């Protein structure tokens, strides 16, 4: 056995592999895992004969790159094979040092490869690459039922995605997402569940940031665990768990280094845009599987209900963190129409407060950031999510209506959005009068209950509704005034287009004035149901 000073030789990769191989040998049952022990000893001998300088000088510029920095291609798989065998042993004491080794290799940028399930196994290359097999085995280790191993798996997967030297795309990225998703739903540890959710959110942020910049080497915002726990899973956190997970995420994100994946060897990341949206990046798990679950589950199934909520939370992360690139990208907007709108439609029937709050938060982002090109979709969801609750004066759910009033308070402060809603709906004879119905709904709520009516609201709740409604009405008036002042200052009497193919010139104001009669509200509600059915058929 080599001395502790020279474990693994003088190469950078060897100095990481050596101590881990030594720990594997010490923890393994020699008789049961004789092949693993022999493989570790052979790897020691090989690493002792290698150095970074020799490996670099002997590399052939025309040959495929070695997956292990400083180790020739012909030797890289040989010295990594013991780590693969340790992962496949399903023996926690052996798996743990193997996972620790991979975390260091990924974090230091020593493993360099492109991994995609479809391209790794072809007719010309029936055997997957060593990097592919290592990460695939890491994902399988999440099924061992050991809390410590689950955390180690999450740490390795996040470090792999975070590494700028490792390009993980397509179905394999979805495989990683699915593994984290399963840990979140099945782990016996509340801390591990929070950690899995946080890792998923961080992966989504990393992937979308890289696509937006078309680069592997980007500055990525670290996810805030406390923000993720604002609406759900607060029962899993006692304060210490949230702090532990936040430090866990910081450790992985700050540990990553290394030279980014060679630009001449990677495709333009903007071409991965479709993979991320269509479920091959962020989620066959996040969208396709959950959408399948929407069709076959009842609200009583707590596991699948948590899956629905997690899906909405990840969508919220995407919408919150998306930059200006996503507002004009046709493929992303196409994904919003195809997947996000369908998800909102199916979740609108789930009477769970957390779901409703998440949907309203996502819908707020749609209105504020992505409304261009989504006129028909917004025309369907606005009445379903906002007006349906706002116009219920007698028997409203207090939490639901407060959520809607908070939504209106936020969007009413955007003067251009208020004008866009008025122009593109109330001034369009083929669209619902969204602006007018919003103002009338706020007015009815502000006036309070009709004399002699019965309600489920307490006096304090009624006063709260009236106060919030008046505040929204004031914000709307101020926004409209602000917009008019801006037009007078710049000498432009037309608002910028907020939706596709619409402008103030195309739609003359057509407010009827006054309060909409109840029979008209009912008529528009029936129209909304018809429009929703049409959207779902798409």
Condensed to tens digits (0 to 9), the pLDDT of residues 58-72 reads: 445 556 788 998 888
The b/e string for 132-150 (b: 16+ C-beta within 10 A; e otherwise) is bbbbbbbbebbeeebeebb
Q: Establish if 480 belongs to a structural domain.
A: yes
Structure tokens at 245: 């997970």
List Cα–Cα distances, 376 to 131, 346, 380, 416, in angstroms.
Answer: 45, 17, 7, 18
Check pLDDT > 80 for residue 327: no
CA atoms of 54 and 327, how far apart (whole Å): 49
User: What is the 3-class SS of 324-374, one letter each residue?
Assistant: CHHHHCHHHHHHHHHHHHHHHHHHCCCCCHHHHHHHHHHHHHHHHHCCCCC
Euclidean distance between the first and final Cα of the chain, in Å?
65
Predicted local distance difference test score (pLDDT) of residue 504: 39
For the stretch 374-433, pLDDT in tens is 888 899 889 989 999 999 988 889 999 999 999 999 999 999 999 999 999 999 988 889
CA atoms of 291 and 468, how far apart (whole Å): 35
Predicted local distance difference test score (pLDDT) of residue 519: 39
**Averaging pLDDT over each range in 76-90, 235-249, 272-286, which range is the top one?**
76-90
Predicted local distance difference test score (pLDDT) of residue 25: 92
List Cα–Cα distances, 324 to 50, 223, 333, 340, in angstroms.
Answer: 48, 19, 12, 18
For the stretch 198-208, pLDDT in tens is 999 999 999 98
Alpha helix segments (H runs only) across 89-189: 92-107, 117-120, 130-140, 147-162, 170-186
Question: Count of domains in the chain?
Answer: 1
Check pLDDT > 60 for residue 513: no
Q: Establish if 225 belongs to a structural domain.
A: no
Burial degree of 219 (CB within 10 A; 0-12, 13-18, 19+): exposed
Least confident range from 14-23, 140-149, 220-229, 288-297: namely: 288-297
Predicted local distance difference test score (pLDDT) of residue 274: 42
Helix H or strand E segment including 166: strand 166-168
CA atoms of 179 and 356, how far apart (whole Å): 27
For the stretch 113-162, pLDDT in tens is 999 866 555 545 557 889 999 999 999 999 999 999 999 999 999 999 99
Identify the residue whose tokens are 């010490």: 26
Check pLDDT > 60 for residue 259: no
**Averaging pLDDT over each range in 206-210, 254-258, 270-274, 281-285, which range is the top one?**
206-210
CA atoms of 95 and 87, how far apart (whole Å): 5
417 CA to centre of own chain: 26
Q: Which one has a higher pLDDT value, 273 or 75?
A: 75
Check pLDDT > 50 for residue 289: no
List of residues 6+ apart from 175 with CB closer than 8 A? 117, 136, 139
Local structure of 167: helix, strand or coil: strand
Q: Are 147 and 189 a contacting pair, CB within 8 Å? A: yes
Mean pLDDT of 227-245: 80
Check pLDDT > 90 for residue 521: no
Q: Establish if 58 belongs to a structural domain.
A: no
Check pLDDT > 70 for residue 263: no
List of residues 6+ apart from 389 with CB closer than 8 A? 396, 397, 400, 401, 403, 404
Q: Which one has a higher pLDDT value, 281 or 213?
A: 213
Q: Establish if 128 belongs to a structural domain.
A: no
Q: Which one has a higher pLDDT value, 10 or 498?
A: 10
Its domain, for residue 510, covers 371-538
| Sign of torsion over alpha carbons 289, 185, 381, 375 | negative
Least confident range from 73-87, 121-135, 337-351, 522-536: namely: 522-536
Q: Establish if 144 belongs to a structural domain.
A: no
User: What confidence tier does 110 reach under pLDDT thresholds 50, 70, 90?
Assistant: very high
Q: Establish if 404 belongs to a structural domain.
A: yes
Predicted local distance difference test score (pLDDT) of residue 424: 94
Predicted local distance difference test score (pLDDT) of residue 65: 80
Structure tokens at 89: 């042993």
Local structure of 113: helix, strand or coil: strand
Q: Establish if 522 belongs to a structural domain.
A: yes
* DSSP assigned state of 114: E
Q: Establish if 286 belongs to a structural domain.
A: no
Check pLDDT > 90 for residue 100: yes
Mean pLDDT of 280-309: 51
Mean pLDDT of 350-355: 76
Query: How much is the pTM?
Result: 0.80
User: What confidence tier does 328 reach under pLDDT thresholds 50, 70, 90?
Assistant: confident
330 CA to centre of own chain: 19
Predicted local distance difference test score (pLDDT) of residue 528: 55
Which of 300, 275, 299 is CA-nearest to residue 287? Answer: 275
Q: CA-CA-CA-CA torsion for 495, 498, 502, 507, nearest 10 degrees?
A: -50
Mean pLDDT of 447-476: 91
Predicted local distance difference test score (pLDDT) of residue 511: 36
Structure tokens at 390: 């706002």
Predicted local distance difference test score (pLDDT) of residue 287: 42
Percent of the chain surpassing pLDDT 90: 42
Percent of the chain surpassing pLDDT 70: 76
User: What confidence tier does 270 reach under pLDDT thresholds 50, 70, 90?
Assistant: very low
Least confident range from 7-11, 394-398, 517-521: namely: 517-521
């Amino acid at each position: 056995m080599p001395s502790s000073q020279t474990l693994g030789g003088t190469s950078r990769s060897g100095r990481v592999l050596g101590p881990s191989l030594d720990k594997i040998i010490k923890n393994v049952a020699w008789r049961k895992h004789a092949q693993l022990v022999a493989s570790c000893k052979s790897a020691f001998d090989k690493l002792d004969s290698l150095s970074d300088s020799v490996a670099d000088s002997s590399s052939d510029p025309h040959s495929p790159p070695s997956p292990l920095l400083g180790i020739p291609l012909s030797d890289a798989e040989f010295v990594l094979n013991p780590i693969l065998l340790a992962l496949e042993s399903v023996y926690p004491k052996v798996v743990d040092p193997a996972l620790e080794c991979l975390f260091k290799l990924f974090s230091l940028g020593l493993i360099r490869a492109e991994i995609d399930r479809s391209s790794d196994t072809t007719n010309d290359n029936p055997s997957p690459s060593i990097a592919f097999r290592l990460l695939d085995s890491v994902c399988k280790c999440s099924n061992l039922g050991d809390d410590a191993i689950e955390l180690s798996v999450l740490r390795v997967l996040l470090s792999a995605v975070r590494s700028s030297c490792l390009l993980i795309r397509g179905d394999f990225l979805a495989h990683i997402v699915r593994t984290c998703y399963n840990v979140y739903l099945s782990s016996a540890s509340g801390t591990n569940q929070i950690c899995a959710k946080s890792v998923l959110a961080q992966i989504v942020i990393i992937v979308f940031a890289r696509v937006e910049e078309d680069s592997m080497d980007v500055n990525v915002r670290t996810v805030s665990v406390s923000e993720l726990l604002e609406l759900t899973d607060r029962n899993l956190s006692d304060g210490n768990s949230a702090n532990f997970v936040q430090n866990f995420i910081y450790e992985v994100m700050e540990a990553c280094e290394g030279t980014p994946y060679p630009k001449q060897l990677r495709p333009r990341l903007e071409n991965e845009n479709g993979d991320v949206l269509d479920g091959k990046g962020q989620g066959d798990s996040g969208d396709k599987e959950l959408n399948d679950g929407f069709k076959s589950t009842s609200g009583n199934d707590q596991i699948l209900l948590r899956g629905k909520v997690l899906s909405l939370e990840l969508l919220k992360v995407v919408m919150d963190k998306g930059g200006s690139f996503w507002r004009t990208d046709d493929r992303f907007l196409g994904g919003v129409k195809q997947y996000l709108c369908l998800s909102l439609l199916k979740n609108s029937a789930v009477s769970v407060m957390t779901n409703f709050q998440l949907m309203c938060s996502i819908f707020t982002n749609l209105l504020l950031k992505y409304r261009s090109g989504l006129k028909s979709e917004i025309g369907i969801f606005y009445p379903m999510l906002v007006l349906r609750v706002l116009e219920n004066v007698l028997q409203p759910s207090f939490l639901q209506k407060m959520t809607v009033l908070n939504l209106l308070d936020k969007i009413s402060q955007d003067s251009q959005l208020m004008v866009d809603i008025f122009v593109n709906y109330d001034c369009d004879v083929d669209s619902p009068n969204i602006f007018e119905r919003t103002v009338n709904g706020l007015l009815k709520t502000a006036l309070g209950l009709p004399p002699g009516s019965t309600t489920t609201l307490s006096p304090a709740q009624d006063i709260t509704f009236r106060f919030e409604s008046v505040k929204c009405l004031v914000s709307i008036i101020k926004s409209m005034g602000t917009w008019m002042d801006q037009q007078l200052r710049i000498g432009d009497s037309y608002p910028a287009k907020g939706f596709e193919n619409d402008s103030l010139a195309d739609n003359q104001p057509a407010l009827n004035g006054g309060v909409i009669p109840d029979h008209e509200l009912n008529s528009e509600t029936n129209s909304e149901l018809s429009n929703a059915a049409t959207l779902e058929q798409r």
